[in-house]
Amino acid sequence: MIDRTGLAEFLRTRRESLQPEDVGLPRGQRRRTSGLRREEVAVLSHMSTDYYARLEQERGPQPSEPMLAAIAQGLHLSREERDHLFRLAGHTPPARGVTGEHIGPGLLRVLDRLEDTPAEIVTELGETLKQTSLGRALTGDTTRFTGPERSIGYRWFTLPGARELYAPEQHAFLSRLYTSGLREVLALRGPTSRAAELAELLLERSEEFRMLWAEHEVGLVPREVKHFVHPEVGTLELNCQRLMDPEQSHWLMVYTAAPGSESAEKLRLLSTLAERTPALRA
C-alpha cells in the first residue's frame, strides 16, 4: 500500500536539500525557497507541477513506476533512495544490476555542469539517457527513440539517414566498431540479454551486419577524434572524452574542440543557433 505521508515527507525533504546549481538550474534573483521549487522538480521530472504538488500534499492517484523513475532522476536520488521512493509509493523497486537506466547522482552532477558543452550519458548498448542542450543541437534528440532503435548501433544498420551526421570516411570503421562492441556486450551479459536480442534483430535485418558479425572481430575502441557533418554549421572535428560509471555501466561522453580552431568557432555558432531554433532530430 502507498504510504502517502511518508512519500510526501520524503519528496519534500529531498527537494529542499537540493539547490538549483546542484541540478544545473540558474539560481535567479529574489529566491526565497530554501531548496528547489516544486515547479523546478516537475520540469526536471518531465511532469506537470500540479501532479508533483499533489504528491507532496498527500493527494492524487498512486504514481506509476515510470513516474517514480522520472522523479528519482529529477531529484538526483541514489539507487538506495530510489528504491525507498518506490516502496513508499507501494511498488517493488526495479531489479538491481549494471544494465539499469537509473543515472547515478554523481554522473548527473557532472553532466549538469556541462550545459555549454555537447555531452550525453549513454548505456553500454549506445542508448542515450540524457543530453545537454548543446548535445541535442549537435546530434539531435537521441533520447526520443523507443524499442531497439534506442541503440545507436541498431539505428546505424537499419535506419535511413542514421549515418548522415558522420563523415563518410568514418562509416566503415564505425560499422566495425558497433558490431565489435555488441559482440563484447553479448559475451558479457549472456544469451538472454538485450544485447542478444539486438544481435538477433540485426542478423535478420542487415546484410552488412551479418558480414561483419561473421568476422568475430573484438577489441575495437572508439577513436578520440570524431568528425561530424552538421546540416547547419558544416564539418566539426571534436575530441570525445569518456567517463564511466562502473556501477551502472553508463558512459558520460563529452565533445570538445581545440581552442582557437575552426570547430571551436562552429560550436559557438551552434550554441547560438540552439538558443533560437528547436533541437535537430537525428
Dump pLDDT digits (tens) for 22-52. Answer: 887 877 767 777 789 999 999 999 999 999 9
Cα–Cα–Cα angle for 249, 254, 255, rounded to 5 degrees:
140
pTM: 0.81
Let me know: does 212 contact 247? Beta carbons within 8 Å: no
**Architecture of the 4-88 domain:** Orthogonal Bundle (1.10)
Question: What type of residue is 193?
Answer: S
Say yes or no: domain 105-276 is CATH 3.40.1010.10.
Answer: no
Q: Which residues of 126-157 are buried (b: 16+ CB within 10 A; e: fewer)?
A: bbbbbbbbbbbbbbbbbbebeebebbbbbbbb
* Cα 37 off chain centre by: 24
Q: What is the pLDDT of residue 79?
A: 86
Rounded to whole angstroms, the Cα distance separating 131 from 123 reads: 13
* Sign of the dihedral through C-alpha 118, 124, 126, 128: negative
Question: What type of residue is 259?
Answer: P
CB atoms within 10 A of CB 179: 28
Question: What type of residue is 248?
Answer: Q
Domain boundaries, the chain: 4-88, 105-276
Rounded to whole angstroms, the Cα distance separating 237 from 257 reads: 7
Give which of 221, 65, 249, 226 is closest to 135, Cα–Cα: 226
CB atoms within 10 A of CB 255: 23
* Cα 29 off chain centre by: 30
pLDDT tens over the chain, length 282 residues? 899 999 999 999 999 999 888 887 877 767 777 789 999 999 999 999 999 999 999 998 899 999 999 999 999 998 899 999 999 999 998 876 666 788 989 899 999 889 889 999 999 999 999 999 999 999 999 999 999 999 999 999 999 999 999 999 999 999 999 999 999 999 999 999 999 999 999 999 999 999 999 999 999 999 999 999 999 999 999 999 999 987 788 999 999 999 999 999 999 999 887 775 444 433
Q: What is the pLDDT of residue 97?
A: 63
Q: What is the pLDDT of residue 99?
A: 65
Contacts of 88 (CB under 8 A, 6+ apart): 2, 3, 6, 7, 10
